[in-house]
Amino acid sequence: MNMIDLIKKAEISHSLEKAEIAEILNNGEINTELFAAADRVRAKYVGNEVHLRGLIEFSNTCKQNCCYCGLRRENLNVERYRMEPETVIEFAEKAQKIGYKTVVLQSGEDNYYSLDKMERIIKGIKKLGVAMTLSVGEKTTEEYKAYRDWGADRFLLRIETTNKALYHKYDPGMDFDNRMRCLNDLKTLGYEVGTGCLIGLPGQTAEDLANDILFFKTLDADMIGVGPFIPNPDTPMSGDKGGTFEQALKMVAVIRLLLPDINIPATTAMEALNPDGRIIALQSGANVVMPNVTDVDHKKLYLLYPGKICLGESPEQCIGCIGRKIRNIGREISAEPGFRKRTAD
Ligand code: 5AD
Ligand code: SF4
Ligand code: FES
Which pLDDT tens digit goes with each residue over 118-128? 999 999 999 99
Of the candidates 171, 115, 118, 135, the one whose C-alpha atom is nearest the C-alpha of residue 55 is 135
Q: How many CB atoms lie within 10 A of CB 36?
A: 15
Model confidence pLDDT, tens digit, residues 79-96: 999 999 999 999 999 999
Q: What is the mean pLDDT of residues 172-188?
A: 98
Q: Is the pLDDT of residue 62 over 90?
A: yes
- Ligand 2 atom nearest the C-alpha of 160 is 5
Q: To 5 degrees, how large is the angle CA 48–CA 282–CA 209?
A: 125
Give mean pLDDT, residues 39-48.
98
DSSP 126: H
SS3 category, 144: helix
Q: Does the pLDDT value for residue 160 go beyond 90?
A: yes
Q: What is the pTM of this model?
A: 0.98
The predicted-structure confidence for 16-31, as pLDDT tens digits, reads as follows: 999 999 999 999 999 9
What is the structure's pLDDT at 22?
98
Average pLDDT over residues 267-289: 98
Closest atom of ligand 1 to 156 CA is: 18
Which residue has the CA at smallest separation from atom 1 of ligand 3?
A: 318
DSSP annotation string for 74-109: T-TTS---B--HHHHHHHHHHHHHTT-SEEEEEE-S
Share of the chain above pLDDT 90, in %: 99
Ligand 2 touching residue 71 (CB < 6 A): yes
Q: What is the pLDDT of residue 1?
A: 82
Q: Taking all residues of the chain, what is their mean pLDDT, rounded to a whole number?
A: 98
Distance in angstroms (rounded) separating the CA atoms of residues 322 and 312: 15
Q: Is the CB of 310 under 6 A from ligand 3?
A: yes
For residue 269, which atom of ligand 1 is closest to its CA? 2
Instruction: Calculate mean pLDDT across residues 308-321.
Output: 97
Whether residue 179 has its Cβ less than 6 Å from ligand 1: no
The pLDDT of residue 306: 97
| Percent of the chain with pLDDT strictly greater than 70 | 100
pLDDT confidence band for 143 (50 / 70 / 90): very high
For the residues 32-56, what does the mean pLDDT come to? Answer: 98
pLDDT of residue 109: 98
> What's the confidence (pLDDT) of residue 345?
83
Mean per-residue pLDDT, 269-294 = 98
Residue-wise pLDDT tens digits, 207-247: 999 999 999 999 999 999 999 999 999 999 999 999 999 99
CA dist., res. 117 & res. 89, Å (int): 11
Q: H or E segment at 54?
A: strand 54-59
DSSP string over 214-283:
HHHHHHT-SEE--EE----TTSTTTTS----HHHHHHHHHHHHHHSTTSB-B--HHHHHHSTTHHHHHHT
Judged by its nearest atom, the ligand closest to the C-alpha of residue 157 is: 1
Per-residue pLDDT tens over the stretch 100-118? 999 999 999 999 999 999 9
Assess whether the C-beta atom of 213 lies below 6 angstroms from ligand 1.
no
